[in-house]
Structure 1
Amino acid sequence: MTRIVAGENAVPRRKRAVEAALAIGLVLLIGIGAVVASSISRDAAAEAAPAPAPAEELKLGYFGNLTHAAALVGVKQGILARNLGTTKLSTETFNAGPAAIEALNAGAIDATYIGPNPAINSFVKSHGESVSVIAGAAAGGAQLVVKPGISSAADLRGKTLASPQLGGTQDVALRAWLSSQGYKTNVDGSGDVAINPTDNAQTLKLFQDGKLDGAWLPEPWASRLVLTAGAKVLVDEKDLWDGSLSGKAGEFPTTILIVNRTFAAEHPDTVKALLRGHAESVAWLNTAPAAEKADVINSALQESAGAALPAGVLERSLQSIIFTVDPLAGTYPKLLKDGVAAGTTKQADIAGLFDLRALNDVIGAGQHISAAGLGRD
């Protein structure tokens, strides 16, 4: 007969219970350790990640036009360089917006003064990833000037006109206006009215030689054709803006300041420093005595464009330009629509185009520039 001794199987059972408890405890310890290690790793990574630092260099683009006077003055007077502090300022000049956009997207420049339509086009093509509009620079200052024998839109059929560059702001404005007059134009230069995108300086020469019938130009080029080449104004663009979109009759954006989005994300302090210099330059343009302003602008044009302006051309040009940090965001749906009609851009949602937060920080309390629902302000 087999005897069963009390407690004979108890030891193995207790041993298994202890082993199970140890195993559970080990799992818990491993889990806790993993959580702690993960937390420590995240904290270490956060500590290791450097805070955004000012850029070593800011590469800035602008044009040798009076509508870019904020850049001309900011560079010439050292205003931009002083506000950038230890960041080196490098500059490059362009004839028109599409070329500047190409340089910006290629990384050749980090920010640029430019017309609104190329900025819109870049934003649309990149699905909102390429650029941000961070400020306005100038409003007004663009006209369609023509030969004296042309007195109305009806006289333009079969004529040849110029614009600074295909897809540029004046190019789009010209094509949109011609469409409103019942004319068809094509980006290849064909149509009821031929449009030849041409360098501004070359436009002046071609007009003087009788090879162009007119051009839609920013200042000072419109004034140069009028005062030195005998052209007359057929359309002053300010007359096409009633103020319902900008809030100010006759005002439309001619020049804005944009930045590469990657650069802005990596160097927000540099962007804010640029905006401080920009706002100071605009303020200087609006307060400097006329004679001093003319001298500084002409000296800057001599350096950037190779020639100073006759006094009469400079005076006439400045009369039509408003220097402002407001990009007039409410006008951009129409600018987009005009670009679509001109065949130079595609219909798209442009919400997110503006980032005016740094600008509003710079200009301070009592002023607020609106993004009109198209970005952050």
Structure 2
Amino acid sequence: MDDLPYDITWSTFTSGPPQIEALNAGQIDFPVTGNTPPFVGGLTKTKVVSAYSNEAKGDAILIPQDSDISSVQDLKGKSVAVARGSSAHGHLVLQLERAGVNVSDVDINFLQPSDSKSAFESGQVDAWAVWDPYTAIAEVSGAVPLITAEGVSNGYGFGVASDAALADDPRAEAINDLLEGIERAYQWTNDTPEKWEKIFAQETGTPANPARPNGDRFPK
């Protein structure tokens, strides 16, 4: 995305739902989110313009190494941290329904990933539903996946653009450039994982190994 004939303003968000809120409010033109936010966030005057697929290996419900939880059924009466309206929230609900556990029987703490991480590591919650790269970073620190979304949730991601941006030729062209850049970037990530993990670690201040692609597990 270097040497472009236009400027890009990058905005950082903690999860998909705040992105959708900003999109609806006209504060951004284009986000990429997980599979749940575009459908529960009340999209208005927007269109899904791209889709990304993986096997959901990086979407997981995490527990501490010494936890007495051994199945999703064991989450009944326990506390779980998750970002409201995120793909992890959708995954958690699907797993509970599949296990025959009422959502109301679980103490769900709606926290963004950074707060969830702190609550999980300090023992304030019993489990944490989250996605990569948070999953991989937590595993490096000793967290254990109770269950992943494979075979339960589709793991899709979606790029969403506002109608106003799509109707404006310069912005629409910029979005198209970005979509092509994302495609090239994912391919480059898979082709050169050693270079990717170093860049990811440098940009995020995290260890390199959580960024290491494992099959289709790359940060999203």
Q: For this structure pair, what is the TM-score category when the shorter chain's length is used for normalisation?
A: 0.7 to 0.9
Do the aligned partners of 1:131 and 1:259 also contact (CA within 8 Å) in 2?
yes
Residue 131 of structure 1 aligns to which amino acid in structure 2?
Answer: T
Residue 117 of structure 1 aligns to which amino acid in structure 2?
Answer: T
1:313 paired residue number: 210
2:139 paired residue number: 226
The number of residue pairs the alignment matches comes to: 212
- Root-mean-square deviation (CA, aligned residues, Å) is 2.0
2:26 paired residue number: 107
SS of corresponding position for 2:70: coil
Do the aligned partners of 2:63 and 2:144 also contact (CA within 8 Å) in 1?
yes
Deviation at 1:134, TM superposition (A): 1.6
* 1:1-377 alignment, distance < 5 Å: 80-82=1-3, 85-122=4-41, 125-126=42-43, 129-137=44-52, 139=54, 140=56, 141-147=58-64, 148-163=67-82, 165-185=83-103, 191-228=104-141, 230-240=142-152, 252-253=155-156, 255-267=157-169, 268-288=172-192, 290-301=193-204, 308-315=205-212, 318-319=213-214, 321-322=216-217
Larger Rg: 1
Q: Distance in 2 between matches of 1:232 and 1:117?
A: 24
Write out per-residue CA displacement over residues 184-205 of structure 1, whole angstroms, 9 at most, x where no aligned residue: 22xxxxx201111212122222
Deviation at 1:99, TM superposition (A): 0.6
TM-score of the aligned structures, taking structure 2 as reference length: 0.86
SS of corresponding position for 1:88: coil
SS of corresponding position for 2:50: strand
Write out per-residue CA displacement over residues 157-189 of structure 1, whole angstroms, 9 at most, x where no aligned residue: 1000011x211111111012112212222xxxx
User: CA distance change for structure 1 residues 130 and 321 in 2, over 3 Å: closer, same or farther?
Assistant: farther
Write out per-residue CA displacement over residues 245-302 of structure 1, whole angstroms, 9 at most, x where no aligned residue: xxxxxx631x3321112211222322222222222212211222x321111122222x
TM-score of the aligned structures, taking structure 1 as reference length: 0.52
User: CA distance change for structure 1 residues 298 and 153 in 2, over 3 Å: closer, same or farther?
Assistant: same
SS of corresponding position for 2:47: strand
Q: Distance in 1 between matches of 2:139 and 2:178?
A: 35
Identity of aligned residues (%): 23
Higher relative contact order (CA 8 A, sep 6+): 2
Deviation at 1:142, TM superposition (A): 0.8
Say which structure is richer in helix: 1
Segments of structure 2 that go 5 or more residues without pairing to the other structure are none
Deviation at 1:322, TM superposition (A): 4.9
